Amino acid sequence: MSATYRVTGMTCGGCARSVESAIKAVSADAKVVIDLGKAAVTVDGATEAQVKQAVDEAGFGFEGKA
Amino acid sequence: MSATYRVTGMTCGGCARSVESAIKAVSADAKVVIDLGKAAVTVDGATEAQVKQAVDEAGFGFEGKA
């Protein structure tokens, strides 16, 4: 089951790739889709707590479910 | 003692902040200075292995000492 979160501070494709990598570092099998324009990160295969930890450690702003 | 590493894939300030945050997540007291134009990351207070782990997990390219 996937969930979509609002993540602030991503300004380019490198930022988006960084968020995706950070999430996969805490949950290797997660599927991640990022909509940069909407600041939306959709994740399948990781808990909200895992996503929050990954986003925090990567230096972006986790704002909960979108 | 600080060391400078070459890190590829950083294209904006958000990327640079992400690398800094990832390094501080593995070594909280590290001091990090990033020169985006030179793809150079100077770190004081973390080992090369810690920096490599952080950069890898953040989805950027760790290319060793600059």
Q: Is B40 helix (H, G, I), strand (E, B) or coil?
A: strand
Closest residue, chain B, to A17 (C-alpha): B59
Closest residue, chain B, to A10 (C-alpha): B14
Is A37 in CB contact (< 8 Å) with chain B? no
Q: Is B26 helix (H, G, I), strand (E, B) or coil?
A: helix
Q: Which residues of A touch B21 (CB under 8 A)?
A: 56-59
pLDDT number for residue B50:
98
pLDDT number for residue A1:
82
Q: Does domain A2-65 have CATH number 3.40.50.300?
A: no
pLDDT number for residue A15:
97
**Structural domain spans, chain A:** 2-65
DSSP assignments along chain A, one per residue: -EEEEEEE---SHHHHHHHHHHHHHHSTT-EEEEETTTTEEEEESS-HHHHHHHHHHTT-EEEEE-
Q: What is the mean pLDDT of residues A48-65?
A: 97
Model pLDDT for residues A8-55, shown as the tens digit of each residue: 999 999 999 999 999 999 999 999 999 999 999 999 999 999 999 999
Q: Which residues of B touch A59 (CB under 8 A)?
A: 17-18, 20-22
Model pLDDT for residues B7-60, shown as the tens digit of each residue: 999 999 999 999 999 999 999 999 999 999 999 999 999 999 999 999 999 999
